[in-house]
Copies of this chain bind each other. A is one copy, B any other.
Amino acid sequence: MDAAQSAATHVGTSRAAARIRHSAMEMFAVHGYGSTSLRDIAADLGLSPGAVYPHYKTKESLLFAIAIEGHTSVLSQVTAVDAADRPPIERLSATVTAYVRWHAENHLRARVVQYELRSLSGPNLKVVARLRRATSNVFTAIIEAGRDSGAFSPVDVDATVLAITSLGVDVSRWFPTRKYSDPATLAERYSEIVLMMVGAQRRSDR
């Protein structure tokens, strides 16, 4: 997994760095990236600002590490449940379920990872964009396979992949609500909606 491996080199590996990332992620999610300083993050952990510096020199390097970690996690969840030799309907159902579920279970992390990307500089954004593209490519390959085999309708593949991405990403904006607070239930509903979107009929033997 090329994009993920090369991106991983930018994430700090020590336990201290992981604690800093976690605290930063929560503060970015709650207060916004723009309103949070490295000093705030250090204070949240009971550290002096100087204690963060050996791990992350800038606030952006922290956001970058969080973004890579998050997008690598999505990508690995989605690829883990995919298998090219299975029927396209099963593949789409499994991968969309994993994708939506990740965004529900990690909704705070997902907000940072999906909404604060514009704060990354060009070269950093490129690394993250590669990971995002790798995830989209999984959906693209499945929809093309389903369309070519006749399991799906002849849909607009790019627009459909964009719609799947939007359904997943937007979960992190609103999840949870009173009605949808269980990630697995939501993921199942959304995976059924996506099967409708591509014109796949599930057998009613569930």
**Are B115's CB and A193's CB within 8 A?**
no
Does A190 contact B163, Cβ atoms closer than 8 Å?
yes
* Complex Cα gap A34–B28 (Å): 11
Give the shortest distance, in Å, between A181 (CB) and chain B (any CB).
Answer: 13
What residues of B have a CB within 8 angstroms of the CB of A174 in the complex?
A: 166
* CB of A89 to closest CB in B, whole Å: 15
Q: Per-residue CB proximity of A152-168 to B under 8 Å, as 1/0?
A: 01011011101101110
**Complex alpha-carbon distance, A35 and B33, angstroms:** 9
Interface positions of A from 79 to 131, Cβ below 8 Å from B? 114-115
A171 to B180, CA, bound (A): 22
Quick check: B159 and A189 within 8 Å, CB to CB?
yes
Contact A171 B179 (CB under 8 A): no
Name A's interface SS.
helix
* Chain A positions 184-206 with a Cβ under 8 Å from a chain B Cβ: 189-190, 192-193, 196-199
Cα–Cα, bound, A33→B170 (Å):
19
A32-52 CB contacts (< 8 Å) to partner B: 32-35
> Is A173 part of the binding interface, using a Cβ–Cβ cutoff of 8 Å?
yes
Query: Closest B-chain residue to A152, C-beta based?
Result: B196
Asked if A169 is at the interface of the complex by the 8 Å CB criterion, the answer is yes
What is the chain B residue whose CB lies nearest that of A165?
Answer: B170
- In the complex, which residue of chain B has the Cβ closest to the Cβ of A36? B34
Q: Which residues of A contact B (CB under 8 A)?
A: 31-35, 114-115, 153, 155-156, 158-160, 162-163, 165-167, 169-171, 173-174, 179-180, 189-190, 192-193, 196-199
Q: With contacts A32-B33, A155-B196, A166-B167 known, what are 11 further pairs, Cβ within 8 A?
A: A32-B32, A115-B115, A156-B192, A159-B189, A162-B180, A163-B167, A163-B190, A165-B170, A167-B170, A169-B170, A196-B197
